[in-house]
């Protein structure tokens, strides 16, 4: 397929996925945030690189309704686990994969996701503040651009994030993101300061080493 044809095909898959996802979220009255590179594509108004999936943060109260309607729409759902972390992927031909990275609880001050019985991830409400985005006349809810920039900064050795940063070069000069302290880890209900940021740093280095040896940055790929 010609490069322009491939890009148009990817664009249509993004449109298809956003359309059905937002329809289902609306039907289920779901509290959600779309995160990841789809936000950048919406911000710049074009498909600037290959986007393989639509990453979603979802409130656990809406999980069953959303998953049920995805199955009715012909999606195949699969639960995944790596290093004690669980997530769900939904797949269907001619659509992006839907990756439900975090299914937890939105509260006034933070989003909470428990893991491995004794652990909890808390993401500040400011980091996940409801932010409207548009892609080809489709409106959806994402997170602030400053949060997108902070995420790129923490995984700067990821080749995909390097492309993302280049596309947002102007925004990096205008927006000063809060890099650290957005996401905290609690063990037995006690906060372990900067544990997530420390993990992100070492994972970024590890991912960079994987690339040097011809592997993908992400360990789950």
Mean of pLDDT over the chain = 91
Under the banding of pLDDT at 50, 70 and 90, the label for residue 159 is: confident
The full set of domain ranges for the chain reads 3-212
- What's the pLDDT tens digit per position in 170-192? 998 898 899 999 999 999 999 99
Task: Please report, rounded to a whole number, the percentage of residues in the chain having pLDDT higher than 70.
Answer: 93
Under the banding of pLDDT at 50, 70 and 90, the label for residue 54 is: very high
Q: Report, as an integer, the average pLDDT of 65-78.
A: 98
**This prediction's pTM:** 0.90
Contact 196, 185 (CB under 8 A): yes
CA dist list (Å): 17 to 4, 138, 189, 219: 20, 10, 37, 25
Fold of 3-212: Beta Polymerase; domain 2 (3.30.460)
Going by C-alpha positions, the residue among 50, 117, 57, 61 that lies closest to residue 87 is: 57
User: How many Å apart are CA 168 and CA 166, to the nearest integer?
Assistant: 5
- The predicted pLDDT at position 116 comes to 85
Under the banding of pLDDT at 50, 70 and 90, the label for residue 44 is: very high
């Amino acid at each position: 397929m010609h490069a322009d044809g491939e890009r148009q095909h990817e664009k249509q898959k993004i449109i298809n996925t956003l359309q059905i996802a937002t329809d289902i979220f609306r039907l289920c009255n779901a509290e959600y945030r779309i995160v990841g590179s789809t936000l950048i594509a919406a911000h710049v108004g074009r498909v600037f690189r290959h986007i393989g999936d639509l990453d979603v943060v979802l409130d656990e109260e809406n999980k069953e309704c959303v998953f049920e309607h995805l199955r009715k729409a012909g999606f195949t759902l699969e639960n995944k686990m790596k290093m004690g972390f669980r997530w769900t992927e939904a797949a269907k031909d001619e659509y992006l994969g839907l990756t439900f990275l975090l299914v937890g609880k939105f509260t006034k001050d933070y989003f909470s996701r428990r893991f491995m019985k004794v652990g909890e991830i808390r993401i500040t409400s400011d980091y996940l503040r409801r932010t409207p985005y548009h892609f080809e006349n489709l409106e959806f809810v994402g997170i602030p651009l400053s949060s997108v920039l902070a995420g790129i900064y923490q995984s700067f050795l990821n080749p995909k994030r390097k492309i993302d940063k280049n596309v947002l070069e102007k925004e990096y000069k205008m927006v000063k993101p809060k890099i650290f302290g957005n996401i905290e880890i609690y063990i037995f209900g006690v906060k372990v300061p900067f544990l997530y940021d420390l993990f992100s740093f070492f994972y970024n280095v590890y991912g960079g080493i994987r690339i040097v040896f011809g592997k993908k940055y992400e360990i789950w790929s």
